[in-house]
Structures are given as C-alpha cells and as structure tokens.
C-alpha cells in the first residue's frame, strides 16, 4: 500500500529574503546522531547526492542538543558554506525566527509547524496509522505502542503516536495508556527494555507498533528472549525501513519513506534558494514525501 507524495505547496504569506554570498561548493549537514541507523543511512544518501552535484558535505553531529542545534542554525563554528540542511530534534519556531545566519536553509525530518523556512518531511501520523491498520487487518486487537519520549518530546514520534491512536479509534478499539511505553532514547536497547517490561505486565498483548525500526529490532530481541513467537504470539512493525530490518529474524515489517524523493527534494529546495536573484523573497515550501508499507515476516498471518 503506497501513499502518493504530496506536491510542494507554496505559502505566499511567509517568505524568506535571499542573501547571496560567493559559492563555496560546501554544504553543511546537521544530524542528531550517526549511531542511529536511520540518520546514518540518510546521511550517506545525502552525501552521495551532493557528490553527484559537485558539492562537498560538512557533517555536524548535534546529539539533538537544543543549544547545539541553535548554534549550527546560526552558523557558529562553521566555515563559509553554500547552505545548511538541518535535521532537528529540538529546534522551535522562535529559535529559527531569531536565526542570525541568513544563508539558505532546508529543514529535513522533524516537523516544525508554521516554520518560516523550507521543510521536507514525511507524514509521520499517516505512517503510524498505516502500520497500525496493517496489524488490525491481520486480526490483532491488543496492539501496544513503544517509543514515546515525553521527557524530551519528539514531534515526529508524537505524530506517530497520534496516527496509532487514530487507527485504533477508527477500528472502535479504545486506546489504552497501559500499553504505551516510554523510552529514553530511540535505540534498540531501549526497545528491548521497554518490550520486556511490557510483555511481563500485559499477558494478552498480540502486536506492537514501534516508533522506529531501531526500537523494533530491540522488541524482536526481547520477545525472542522471553520465548514469545513472532509473529505467532506477537506481531511487530517498525517505521523507517533501515537496512537491518530486512535481515532481522524474522524480517521486520516497516513503513518506508521515499528516501530518494526526500533527498532529491532537499537539494532541489536548497538549489532554489541558491540560484534565486539576490533580494528575492522566495515563498516558503513544505514538501511531504510519500511512504509505503513493506510487509515482511514479522507480521505474517497466523
């Protein structure tokens, strides 16, 4: 099942003036953490795409730290670059509107509503809804969500949780807070810990929607350690379609963003800013790329 990509939408009420500086051939990329497989794989795609365009990439790892993300957006400690592709975890609209570096900026990934800067993302709510609907179609009814992080909220995960709840409500299944698990990080270790606690406390659990694939891989390990069959006892889905998902045991069902379109849109929007005449007020664009369900063994019919 595939969600078609939404076309770019110009928003003429908000614009950003173009400031022209000499081209350097260098683009900065701010990424939260390269230990997270999704970000590592996305970074690799971005670097390859930049190379095809004759650009070099300066990678800055922010660890999702608020102050560090602001500093990178402001160009603090960076050499002259042609622009910045920023994958934020904690930036806010007010942070961006106070930005002191006027160069081209494209936000990638996490959604910042009403941002005065161009943004490329997936529909996170629809992705989780698609994953949950798939489990419902397999006859699962006691479906957990693992991956909320209320201590340091993630807009993407909040939207994924909302999509999960919407799918349950559409199936007339009340959302149960008792089967929503918190994590401190979006990692396999946290997925394993949260899943082990969940299955020890909830005897009738028959499916899990994980906030990302890394958490889902940890969930698979915890279920195996507890002697729970996947998908016989508990079906598992992730979101992101990292490479490891296809090699998990069993292979992991997931919702895959259109990574190629995500990368293409990021550079297209960056180039649009770079090539505009100086002083031009460019309309802000918010581009949503498509997602599709990749069905594998972890949700096979019982």
Give the fold, CATH level 3, of 124-256+294-299: Rossmann fold (3.40.50)
For residues 291 and 122, give the distance between their C-alpha atoms in angstroms, rounded to a whole number.
7
User: To the nearest whole number, what is the mean pLDDT of the chain?
Assistant: 90
Q: Are both 2-123+257-290 and 124-256+294-299 of the same fold? A: yes
The H or E element spanning position 47 is helix 37-52
The values of phi and psi at residue 290, to 5°, are: -80, 165
pLDDT at 286 over 60: yes
**Domain residue extents for the chain:** 2-123+257-290, 124-256+294-299
For residues 183 and 150, give the distance between their C-alpha atoms in angstroms, rounded to a whole number.
8
Q: What is the pLDDT of residue 15?
A: 47
pLDDT at 105 over 60: yes
pLDDT at 188 over 50: yes
pLDDT at 75 over 60: yes
Q: What is the pLDDT of residue 14?
A: 46
Sign of the Cα torsion 57, 62, 63, 66 reads negative
Q: What is the pLDDT of residue 207?
A: 98
The values of phi and psi at residue 46, to 5°, are: -65, -40
Q: What is the pLDDT of residue 11?
A: 41
What are 209-258's pLDDT values in tens digits?
A: 999 999 999 999 999 999 999 999 999 999 999 999 999 999 999 999 99
What are 135-161's pLDDT values in tens digits?
A: 999 999 999 999 999 988 888 999 999
pLDDT at 20 over 60: no
Sign of the Cα torsion 11, 16, 20, 26 reads negative
Percent of the chain with pLDDT over 70: 91
Please report how the helices 124-137 and 155-170 are oriented relative to each other, as an axis angle in degrees rounded to 10: 40
The domain made up of 2-123+257-290 is a member of CATH 3.40.50.2300: yes
pTM of the model: 0.88
């Amino acid at each position: 099942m595939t969600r078609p990509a939404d076309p770019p939408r110009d928003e003429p009420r908000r614009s950003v003036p173009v400031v022209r500086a000499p081209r350097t051939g260098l683009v900065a990329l701010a990424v939260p953490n390269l230990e997270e497989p999704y970000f590592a794989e996305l970074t690799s795609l971005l670097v390859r795409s930049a190379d095809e365009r004759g650009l070099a990439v300066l990678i800055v790892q922010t660890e999702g730290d608020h102050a560090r993300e602001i500093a990178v957006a402001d160009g603090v400690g960076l050499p002259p670059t042609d622009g910045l592709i920023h994958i934020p975890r904690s930036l806010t609209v007010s942070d961006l509107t106070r930005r002191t570096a006027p160069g081209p900026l494209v936000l990638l990934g996490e959604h910042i509503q009403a941002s005065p800067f161009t943004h490329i993302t997936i529909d996170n709510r629809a992705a989780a809804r698609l994953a949950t609907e798939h489990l419902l179609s397999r006859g699962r009814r006691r479906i957990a969500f693992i991956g909320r992080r209320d201590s340091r909220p993630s807009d993407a995960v909040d939207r994924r949780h909302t999509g999960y709840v919407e799918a349950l409500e559409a199936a007339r299944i009340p959302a149960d807070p008792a089967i929503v698990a918190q994590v401190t990080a979006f990692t396999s270790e946290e997925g394993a810990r949260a899943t082990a606690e969940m299955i020890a406390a909830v005897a009738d659990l028959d499916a899990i929607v994980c906030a990302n694939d890394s958490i889902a891989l940890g969930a698979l390990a915890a279920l195996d350690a507890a002697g729970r069959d996947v998908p016989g006892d508990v079906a598992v889905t992730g979101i992101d379609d990292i490479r490891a998902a296809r090699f998990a045991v069993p292979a992991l069902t997931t919702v895959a963003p259109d990574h190629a379109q995500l990368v293409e849109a990021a550079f297209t929007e960056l180039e649009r800013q770079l090539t505009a005449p100086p002083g031009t007020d460019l309309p802000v664009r918010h581009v949503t790329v498509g997602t599709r369900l990749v069905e594998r063994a972890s949700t096979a019919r019982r």
